[in-house]
Amino acid sequence: MAVRQALGRGLQLGRALLLRFTAKPGPAYGWGRTERPGPAAGRGGRERRGRTAGSGAEPRRLGLRLPDRYRFFRQSVAGLAARVQRQLVLRARGGAGPCGRAVFLAFGLGLGLIEEKQAESRRAASACQEIQAIFTQKNKQLPDPLDCRHWQGFRLEEYLIGQSIGKGCSAAVYEAAMPSVPQNLEVAKSIGLLTGRGQDSIPQGENEARAPQASAFPFAIKMMWNISAGSSSEAIFNAMSQELVPASRVALAGEYGAVTYRKSKGSLKQLVPHPNIIRVLRAFTSSVPLLPGALADYPDVLPPHLHPTGLGHGRTLFLVMKNYPCTLRQYLHMKTPSPHLATMMTLQLLEGVDHLVQQGIAHRDLKSDNILVELDADGCPWLVITDFGCCLADESIGLQLPFTSWYVDLGGNSCLMAPEVSTACPGPRSVIDYSKADAWAVGAIAYEIFGLSNPFYGQGTTHLESRGYQEAQLPTLPDSVPSDARQLVRSLLQREASKRPSARVAANVLHLSLWGEHILALKNLKLDKMIGWLLQQSAATLLADRLTHKSCVETKMKMLFLANLECETLCQAALLLYSWRATPLCKH
């Protein structure tokens, strides 16, 4: 409190000094009149004028205003500041020597510089807010293209089910179409952020057999395996509620059980749409059908009337989503992205994770199999995070999970579980902070994106465990990878979460590294210059977005960057880059 009071006094005094020493004397100030006071005034009149000149009322008459954060101290320091100012005025008029006046003037000028720095910060924050408002509006999702009066999509019979796309530990995914409403087929192809989706943009190789049918099956239906949830719609929705976190506004509007679920599960967060996160377009329960490959791929989870030894219930949950050509693992198996492209792919994951953190949600199962990929017209991959079955999305606890016993669910994919999660011990007051856990997983997945094996999936001497690895054991990324990206990956994989950058700061680091090189090259970077660069980026991005035939992944990433613009996190990212470039990464 003493420091704050001293700062408040200094600011008030400094501004008063500046005005007193630089303003021209005149009758308005009360101490610079040329005429002598009349006899009626006498000594008391002079004292009254002296008190008026030094009182706290004069700064208000001169228009002096402290910043909002210091107004709290105005009343407490007004009397003391008035007395000090009165003494300084007397000294300035002849009671003090040149040295004393110079000291007081230097002190006032120093405080004036502090005021100017504060004003620069306020201008920068205001400009960032205005830019953010513009691009937040631009990035708003369009209305659900499947929300039409002619087609509801809440019954399994409305879909044509194709071949199996894949299966996991809790569900099987099939390609699907809407044969009953042909006019919606073209609309369905346009779901999502990017244009240019078509047969030519589908990677060749492992998914080559799917390519001819991809345009005819724009959807994917995920059939959950129901072993313990019962057969009522309400029980199914409650048991599988985490899968519904990324559901769209109308996804749950077609079933009574969904309405009941909405009312009873008020503590579950509902994710705001984001272009790097999957959208569940429809969610409904239905009887389990015998789909292609079911008897061979998952006979044990089928209901007994479809397979004698099956353990599943006769009804389960179905989720309808966009059909993406492949997963990230499949894409990386077929193609090796360039370092620039790999950097943008890592950036997309950080943008998606940052959106989850801002919504108070932790995915807790990030891996290359749970990331989907599609290509834009130029062949640049666009990444989408999917599979929220293990997510933490509780309104009551946010990202702070009480770890009271070993029975608490810590999420899936133990290999990519952040150190603060994998080393946690249960106890009455034990709490796990997931705010940077997904960012750590992105750092591990970045090894795969940049062409190396994931060190936490490796074998033998290359295998690391998140519980006990040391940062010096992390493999070195190739020299072809940009230095900033290499530094960021190592920073994301720091064991101590407090030293790890947040997903927002990490994303800003890559944004600046990709598109702000000439700004970072300046020796003395000032906020005003940074704002000038941001305004240039805003104008160029808006122009590029209008040229729809050139709208690409790079333009979309710039729009996301500007929509999430915050002055504080941007400055943190710039400082990180400066520190890394001052001390280059040493090889080991």
Q: What residues are labeled active site?
A: 365
Rounded Cα gap, residues 381 and 556, in angstroms: 12
Rounded Cα gap, residues 339 and 390, in angstroms: 31
Length of the chain: 588
List the beta bridge partners of residue 180: none
What is the per-residue DSSP string for 450-507?
TTS--TTT--GGG---TTT--GGGSPPPPTTS-HHHHHHHHHHT-SSGGGSPPHHHHH
List the beta bridge partners of residue 400: 433
Give whole-number Cα distances, 332 to 289, 368, 480, 559, in Å.
33, 9, 17, 26
538 and 559 Cβ atoms separated by less than 8 Å: no
What is the per-residue DSSP string for 167-180?
E-SSEEEEEEE-TT
Rounded Cα gap, residues 246 and 385, in angstroms: 10
Rounded Cα gap, residues 298 and 173, in angstroms: 12
Report H helices in 139-190: 183-189
- In this structure, what token pair is assigned to residue 114? 């502090």
CB neighbour list of residue 468: distance below 8 Å, 6 or more residues apart: none
Residue type, 348: Q
Rounded Cα gap, residues 325 and 202, in angstroms: 6
Q: Which of 13, 134, 2, 24 is nearest to 85 (CA)?
A: 13
Rounded Cα gap, residues 444 and 27, in angstroms: 72
Residue type, 491: S
235 and 260 Cβ atoms separated by less than 8 Å: no
Give the three-state DSSP class for 251. Answer: coil
Sign of CA dihedral 171, 270, 504, 492: negative
Structural element, H or E, at residue 575: helix 567-582
Cα-Cα end-to-end distance for the chain: 48
